[in-house]
Structure 1
Amino acid sequence: MPPSTGRPEPTGSRAGDPASEFRKPAAAETAPRSTAPEDESPGPEASRAETPTVPPTESPTPSSGTPLTTTTQPPPLLDVPLRLVGVVSRLYVVLESDRGLVLLDQHAAHERVLFEQMLDRLQQGPAPCQRLLLPETIEVSARDAAFLREHLETLSRLGVALSEFGERTFLLDGLPPFVRRTEPRPFVLQLIDELREAGEGVNALRLGEATVAKTVCRHAVKANDLLEGAELEELIKDLRHCAMPYTCPHGRPTMIEFSHRELEKRFGRSQ
């Protein structure tokens, strides 16, 4: 082994070399013994010399123009232009984008739009209530009657004017403007089922609102209705303003996209 010169070897050439970390103790044994106590820890300068550091300027930053990732995510589907092509089975709207083909479920999309519109109204105050020309009496079981009495306040905030009219009879005098008038009794009965399924959580007013709002939307959406071009354009416009436009309140997708690559693969045109 060549004699030690007493000068510390430069550490720059060994930075990042894993084997150098294991050779340092052997080199320390041949170096001249220091007069300091053996258990004395190395000083700050020695620690800094042995620890490799990376200058901050070497890290890529957005301002330097260096891309932080090698892949980029495509923009959300509703952020790209969509061209109306037609409607299949009075339900599925066919749209075209520069990325491929899009199928929109007008039932699920309208449900999402109405659901968020109703929740927005609830945040501002009670939902509007439109009086029925002919109020309806609804008779329920004793168990359902007791359950309804506990939730009349929640129903009132949602625009459902329901009041007691007997021991097991209730008078339905008004509904939200976007609920169809042809089926008020099934609507109320389904409200009971929805509230009961939610369990004790419906005692909290906000949870009750969300549960009933889903039921209201299910009775309000246009399913299998023939919509004209202007109505479809308005539906897509309203969907763009939703907080969660890609699923209905029950979790079903509102639209499905088929890329050009997927279409070519389906037709056996991809190489």
Structure 2
Amino acid sequence: MILDTPKIKRPVIRQLDETAINRIAAGEVVERPASAVKELVENALDAGARRITVDYADGGKTLIRVTDDGCGMTGDDLPLALSRHATSKIDGSDLLNIRSFGFRGEALPSLGAVGRLTITSRAEGHDGVSLSVEGGRMGALRPAALNRGTVVELRDLFFATPARLKFMRSDRVEMGAIADVVKRLALAEPHVGFTLRDVSGGGDGRVVFRADPENGDFFDALHGRLSRVIGADFTDNALRIDLDRDGLRLVGYAALPTYSRGSSVAQFLFVNGRPVLDKQLFGALRAAYMDVLSRDRHPAAVLNIQCDPERVDVNVHPAKAEVRFREPALVRGLIVSGLRLAITGAGHRASTTVASETLEAFRPVPTRAEPTRAEPAPLQPRVYQMDRPSQASFARAYALQAPAPDFGFAEAPSVRVEAVAEPAPDLTDRPLGAARAQVHENYIIAQTAKGIVLVDQHAAHERLVYERLKAQAAGSGIAAQALLIPDIVELSPPDAARLLDLADDLAGLGLVIEPFGGGAIAVREVPAVLGQIDAGALIRDIVDDLADLGASDRLRGRIDAVLSRMACHGSVRSGRQMRAEEMNALLREMEATPLSGQCNHGRPTYVELSLADIERLFGRR
């Protein structure tokens, strides 16, 4: 029996028409309404606009309108601007020297291919003109009345590609994405004014976001813009970053570790003013805070990497959200070392929001049920040291007074006051003040010139011991433990080569490796402080980090975690009574030790309350 073999029909190669090409390009450039807003606002910034207004309706699905006061276009420019790969940003001779947001000439024709696009523009010294494109079909050029600038109106996005509409999210979600895009661009250009309005339902609409142009130099303008976009809490707790190294400059603001967030929503990174969502840069930001934040907390930062445009390639992602640096290790090192230097320089400083949260915790929680009257519990304040003669005199005078009236307590409060033989120097002018008391054998109360400080003695001493252990490890190196039988780890040849390039760095951390033929790696020594470890699993985790982020801090992190546990067990335990000189010595060491404002897990080690804060608690203000 002979079976007939079906004939294979040869496909025909054909040239796609211009409309299909534009719609395919739109699928890469315009993913959602927020993508269209990003492209149009970036065009306005490239045109030199100083004020930009963005209106949208129904989450941008039915209307997106961007109005700017930039240089505008003439009647000869408009038809050319709506054709593919036509741009005024570059001349095509050098694709590595890109100094503008846009450069491909794809945004406007792509938008015109999937929606109803109308551009009205007027350049100085020329008449206003308007041109419409609907589903890729261009209309006739018409005169229009307009001041200098451009108005781009996009209606019914994706009407020509209805399948894309099925992938749109709810209006609320799309509105949030648009607001995020505008805020990121507002941070990139603090000297430009931005207004975002929701005009759903017609009328003047509702202003969702507004940021007037800021004055002053870059840092002053960015500081003012950050207060509007992120909030005054961030600027009050942010460190100024300005570091220049090897032709790279890192500028911006980074928050204190104690001002951390539950997600990465407060992380904004820019490269030469261009907002980017590059995982390698975010990985470097995370590594900079690795030693001061727990794994479930995220730092807050607004950072701009400035460099020669020829040292970075911005043409590696359709939406230009990722970049490629010529020297990625140098950029990562700049971010990590720059932020760590700033955080270390902040010393014992903790975020001001800690005091606000403390005051909020003092507020009574309202309940609907009628409070029941209960017998007051016995009060047992314990004061271990009061180191001023006036306080001792007050105690003696109080003891000579008549017995206090009975207020109904189960038993009288017990107070133990010890006078200091020699008066201690007045330490209230020091940042953390002078120790006055210890309560519940865990919290130190110190008096400063402007208020009081409440210190968690265990958390504070844990950080101090941890920093000493790290300094010792850095000075003498991480001791290595030789393996009786080397552990052989099989990797792919590229992964093995990538790992061996870091052999010297890993040896400095106590992990000694060498090639074993092909893609195999022989692990000869491991950090002694880690004890019994699975060397193969550690090697594979490091390789995964290298493939994903281009660098790995996993080994350093595991060593620091062990030192942190050692510090926890070696620090002052909760429940230990401390003398006045011990408490003051702890405060002085905190003032001299970097990062002492937070414990090893990122929690604050002390709370500072001003006299004004205390007076508010008692209703005196």
- TM category (shorter chain) comes to 0.3 to 0.5
Normalised TM-score (structure 1):
0.44
Bigger helix fraction? 1
Bigger strand fraction? 2
Greater relative contact order structure (CA < 8 Å, 6+ sep): 1
